[in-house]
Structure 1
Amino acid sequence: MKTILITGTSSGLGRAAVELFAASGWNVIATMRSPEKETELNILEGVFVTRLDVLDQDSIAEAIQAGIERFGKIDALVNNAGYGQNGVFESISREQIIKQFETNVIGVMDVTRGIIPHFRANGGGTLINISSCGGLIGIPNISIYSSSKFAIEGFSESISYELASQNITVKLVEPGGFDSNYAATTEHNKPALPLPHAYDDFLEDVNRFFLWLSTDKGISMEDVAKKIYEAATDGKTQLRYVIPGVVEPLVEARQTMGNQEFVDMMRVRLNQ
């Protein structure tokens, strides 16, 4: 029986992934910042709920060790914990930028650093980082979130070559918008700085752009969880697993157009 550690499982995609892996016969180390509040995952067979805060290095080491003590070893890791910071760059404070990168980037790196020695000692493992199509395409009004995911893309691709020498496979799952709790979490992370009225017309264009993107979501958290499961079990060395969702036209355009052609297309979409 294989074991997987998943971060950020108190809600949303992480929770859906725990339920799917557990139902598929895996042992699951379901980590979250406040496990004392959990009342459902901890009664599932094969699920061990424990504390892990990606901003707390001690909690990372303790969660990994507790999982090993519970199940013997860990075969796979899903770096899922993170959140989205919305807003025009000029309205995002330096503190908010640091918090976004500490959680979405440094936190992923710290958990990854914590698991590598265990994977190597056991002859290998699978590392899955949850990115976003916003890490493939620069999208206005989410520049800080998008740039944090661009960082995860570069980090994951780079270490995939390094860790292949250790028999550790690195994978990226890249959702492109799905029915999740993203809007609810970003509501708590509103821009801290006032935005000049000079952006008023631009924001109207951006709102129309996002309305065009969100006309039909179609992709559920369970669909994304299935893609994570596929990445963990298909035995491939494939790096990227794209789930286009609502940004499918933009992903396809990014893959087929030249760089400047794509930027020009985006500017037309934004009426610039």
Structure 2
Amino acid sequence: MQKTIFITGASSGLGKSTAKLFQSKGWRVIATMRNPEKETELNKLKDVFVFPLDVTQPEQIISTIEKVTNLYSTIDVVMNNAGYGLIGVLESLNDEQIQRQITTNLLSVIRVSKAFTSHFRERKSGTFINITSTFGLIGFPTCSIYSATKFAIDGFSESMAYELAQFGIQVKIIAPGGMQTDFAVRSMEVGQHEAYQKLTSEVSKGYSAEKISNYTKVEDIAEIVYQSATDGKNQLRYVAGCDANQLYDERLNLGIETQVQNIKTMFTF
């Protein structure tokens, strides 16, 4: 029987790459995005169905998921992917920026998951795949609010995995490092504060064209998403990408406190 995946934030980057990969593997793909009228690629693929969804709108989340579950009786996998980066020291960010980041990156995951939970529970099967980040496992300067949302998704996902295990539902986390996408241009908002110019300048080197060219290909991260959906493993976290694994292995091997002190030293001027 053909399986179905529901993806948020499918207009570009990891969401689009994952949609194309699952489609190539014979899955039905429900690809959601804020502006489906601008999509020119996914809507031409067999068994890919594009729906409008702005994950900051709770009412639209409910109505879209009701429509999708009525049209397609079985959704097997939900990929919570929609989000963007908010980069800047805390003093550089206003309250509106902070609230928008939390609403988009965190509350959308909670709301989409809640809307699908009864669908999975009644069927006693289903998988949530939540996209976090290396910075959802390890903090980093200028990423305080972004990390707050990604750490929160990690904790939310682990807790939900315990709640839903009794119903045969799995929750999985993909924690990518840097990806070769236009994320730094398309999906990043940056705050500036003159007191932190040295720090911001040093951190921004990680977003240079040269650095991005050495990041993991987005197609390789999509492969890990597919693996997590199909490997049959009762595994919670998938750290994805060379830099992500290097940082996370360092944390495990050195210990959290040693790694924290090392990062502090890097950014003490």
Structure-2 change in CA distance of 1:41 and 1:202 (3 Å):
closer
Any idea what SS the aligned residue of 2:167 has? Answer: coil
Structure 1 residue 231 corresponds to structure 2 residue 232: no
1:244 Cα shift? Answer: 3.5
Deviations 1:245-265 (A, max 9, x none): 334432221111222211111
Which residue in 2 is equivalent to 1:190? 190
1:214 Cα shift? Answer: 2.8
1:139 Cα shift? Answer: 0.7
1:68 Cα shift? Answer: 2.5
Kindly report which structure 2 residues correspond to 1:247-262, keeping only aligned pairs within 5 A, or say none. 247-262=244-259
1:94 Cα shift? Answer: 1.1
Structure-2 change in CA distance of 1:47 and 1:204 (3 Å):
closer
Structure 1 residue 221 corresponds to structure 2 residue 230: no
Q: Distance in 2 between matches of 1:216 and 1:8?
A: 23
Any idea what SS the aligned residue of 2:221 has? Answer: helix
Letter matched to residue 120 of structure 2: F
Any idea what SS the aligned residue of 1:73 has? Answer: coil
Kindly report which structure 2 residues correspond to 1:84-163, keeping only aligned pairs within 5 A, or say none. 84-163=85-164
1:132 Cα shift? Answer: 0.4
Q: Distance in 2 between matches of 1:226 and 1:145?
A: 24
Which residue in 2 is equivalent to 1:72? 73
Contact 1:217 1:245 in 2 (8 A): no
Contact 2:78 2:127 in 1 (8 A): yes
Any idea what SS the aligned residue of 2:87 has? Answer: coil
Structure-2 change in CA distance of 1:215 and 1:56 (3 Å):
closer
Any idea what SS the aligned residue of 1:81 has? Answer: coil
Q: Distance in 2 between matches of 1:38 and 1:220?
A: 22
1:200 Cα shift? Answer: 2.7
Once structures 1 and 2 are overlaid, which stretch shifts more, 199-208 or 21-30?
199-208
Structure-2 change in CA distance of 1:215 and 1:15 (3 Å):
closer
Contact 2:56 2:104 in 1 (8 A): yes
Contact 1:133 1:244 in 2 (8 A): no
Which residue in 1 is equivalent to 2:198? 201
Contact 2:239 2:245 in 1 (8 A): no
Deviations 1:127-180 (A, max 9, x none): 000000110110111221111101111111111100111211000001011111
Stretches of structure 2 that go unaligned for 5 or more consecutive residues are none
Structure-2 change in CA distance of 1:123 and 1:265 (3 Å):
same
| TM-score for the superposition, normalised by structure 2 | 0.93
1:209 Cα shift? Answer: 6.4
Any idea what SS the aligned residue of 1:114 has? Answer: helix
- Percent of aligned pairs with the same amino acid: 44
Contact 2:88 2:190 in 1 (8 A): yes
Deviations 1:182-220 (A, max 9, x none): 101245x232xx61x332333344345666x93762411
Which residue in 1 is equivalent to 2:7? 6
Contact 1:3 1:75 in 2 (8 A): yes
Which residue in 1 is equivalent to 2:165? 164
Letter matched to residue 263 of structure 1: V
Stretches of structure 1 that go unaligned for 5 or more consecutive residues are none
Q: Distance in 1 between matches of 2:179 and 2:20?
A: 18
Contact 1:171 1:231 in 2 (8 A): yes
RMSD over aligned CA atoms reads 1.9
Between the two proteins, the alignment pairs up a number of residues equal to 267
